[in-house]
Amino acid sequence: MEQKNWNLLDESLGLHINDDAKPWPLCGRFVLVEDCVDTSAAFVLHHILKRSFSSHPSSAVLFLAFSHPFSHYDRVLRKLGCNLTAQRDNGRFFFLPMLMFQCPGEGNPNHDGLASVFEQIERVITVLHQDKKSISIIIDDISFLEVAANGSSDDVLNLLHYCHTLTSEYGCAFIALDHKDIYLNGDRTAVILEMEYRADILVKAEPLATGLAKDVHGQLMVSNKETQHQHGITAIKSYNFHFKIKENGIECFYPGTKIQ
């Protein structure tokens, strides 16, 4: 039953087809995960991180952590059966701790503090690409990125745009989590709209319209753009299902179905 529940999330993300002969299914795609204060979607990042290692032998992850230290993710992923320390030691997991990162103030001539982040990303991606790895870039909290950038929407969009260009230049997967209702203002709305427009897969986590429930922690709405290259058109597949967060995983199920 657990495997079936996980597959519902996999299906919406396009991860349900496991073929080692083909690239990691998210390669070349931008996955934007949006949540809110009442309903966290961090588990979606954890799931993608685990699946990137377990489903493809040549995959590697570059993780930009603005929200939590390595020990937090190592502890969470161990509960899901994934050892991040071992993946890091094997050269498949590169963790960039950004909790203390802060861009210089506007009066500083080196105002573009994110240039150093660009350089770190580029160094890691170049090495991994030479090793023919399927690369995923994950940002764990765009709202904290905005804080580090002193609220500069332009700097944030520049970094996100750079990561997005790597999906076409190197075939990287780009996954980012954003707390949509934090620091919501005019500039913040512009960042959200720009990201939603560029996203190939948009995942929205929201509380239930009926309020809190014991066996349901929220709902996921997933829009997956599937380009039909033969006809030059883009079809959007939509999914809407509920989820329940557990100690060592997540249960996903359609509304109205009973959890066993």
Nearest to 142 by CA among 113, 177, 173: 177
Please tell me the pTM assigned to this model: 0.88
pLDDT of 109 reads: 43
Q: How far apart are CA 139 and CA 67, in angstroms?
A: 9
SS3 state of residue 68: coil
Go through the domains of the chain in sequence order and give each one's CATH number: 23-100+112-198 (3.40.50.300)
CA angle 166/226/216 to nearest 5° reads 95
pLDDT of 104 reads: 64
pLDDT over threshold 80, residue 172: yes
Nearest to 103 by CA among 44, 153, 167: 153
pLDDT over threshold 90, residue 189: no
pLDDT of 97 reads: 92
pLDDT of 72 reads: 96
Contact 45, 140 (CB under 8 A): yes
Q: How far apart are CA 243 and CA 249, in angstroms?
A: 10
- Which stretch of 41-50, 83-92, 98-107, 205-214 has the lowest confidence by average pLDDT? 98-107
Count CB atoms within 10 A of the CB of residue 141: 23
Q: How far apart are CA 253 and CA 237, in angstroms?
A: 17
